A and B are shown apart, each in its own frame.
Chain A
Amino acid sequence: MDKQAYEVVFCIVNAGYSEAVMDSARSAGASGGTVMRAQGTADKEAETLFNLTIQPEKEIVMMLVPKDIKDAVLHALYHDVGLETEGNGIAFTLPVDNVAGLGRKPRIPARKKAEKAEKRPDAEPAQENADQPKIE
């Protein structure tokens, strides 16, 4: 379990803008995200009052980011996919207590392991070669 401070960033944008969200967040240091499809609703009166049109098809991008880059990510999203852009995005963060699954060790497939061992001159020979008879 990771005890480092994280926050979860939610960004709600018009459908088709999730890639723009990810690009913007990545430029601020975020690593990855998850996209969910959703439908937005808005008060018709409020729409006329604020002169806004709410496109119902939405995408919600959820990103887990370290607390220290949270502000940078929010600012990037505000500028790149905010309400004054085509994406019409809203971004907010929620506090996160505990995190699991971020500090995992990457698994290397057996084939890649063998390739790596071959590249190293001091490495032991691969199992396949060891079984072969020696030619003298």
Chain B
Amino acid sequence: MKEKDTEIKRSARKPLVSEDKLSVLVTIVNRRKADFYTDIIQSYDANLQMLVAGEGTLKILSQDLLNLVSIPKTIIFSVIQKKQEEKILVTLEDKFNSIKDGEGIAFTIPMSSVIGKLVYGFLSNQQNLIGGQQNG
């Protein structure tokens, strides 16, 4: 009974919520440029990226008719560290404005929770969380 109490007390002292928050970065770019942007985001320690094919909607005036034209796009969902958010977005904005056909939109959605130490270590690229070590 006493042992159990000490264990509960010990686990209560362990921080359950990490200070290093994660965000989901959504980047919408032309399909041909998807690999280029994936590489850029990966260079900022983003270990998990998902690419989804999509279409952009744009209304253009052709032959006096307002038509809906679909443009092939790729939506890149990346899990990034919140502390890297600003750096990544500044880099992406720079590329959006300077690369030919490299226009796009990027935004971040805060991630509220994740379960599993290993999963968290993988997503936040903290190798010290792998192999039973815990580092707050």
Contacts and interface: CB of A to CB of B under 8 A. Distances in A.
Contact of B106 (A32, A37, A101, A105): A101
Contacts of B17: none
Interface residues of B, number: 31
B103 interface: yes
B107 A64 contact: yes
B68 A19 contact: yes
Contacts, number: 85
A36 interface: yes
A83 interface: no
Given A1-B93, A100-B90, A8 B54 contact: no
A23 B58 CA distance: 11
A100 B68 contact: no
A49 interface: no
Given A1-B90, A98-B86, A100-B96, A22 B110 contact: no
Contacts of B59: 26
B129 interface: no
Interface residues of A, number: 26
A46 to B, nearest CB: 26
A8 B75 contact: no
A95 B110 contact: yes
A37 B52 CA distance: 9
Given A19-B68, A35-B54, A36-B54, A97 B110 contact: yes
Contact of A99 (B55, B97, B107): B107
Contacts of B104: 101
18 contacts: A8-B26, A8-B107, A32-B57, A35-B55, A35-B57, A35-B70, A36-B52, A94-B109, A97-B85, A97-B107, A97-B109, A98-B107, A98-B108, A99-B105, A99-B106, A99-B107, A101-B104, A104-B97
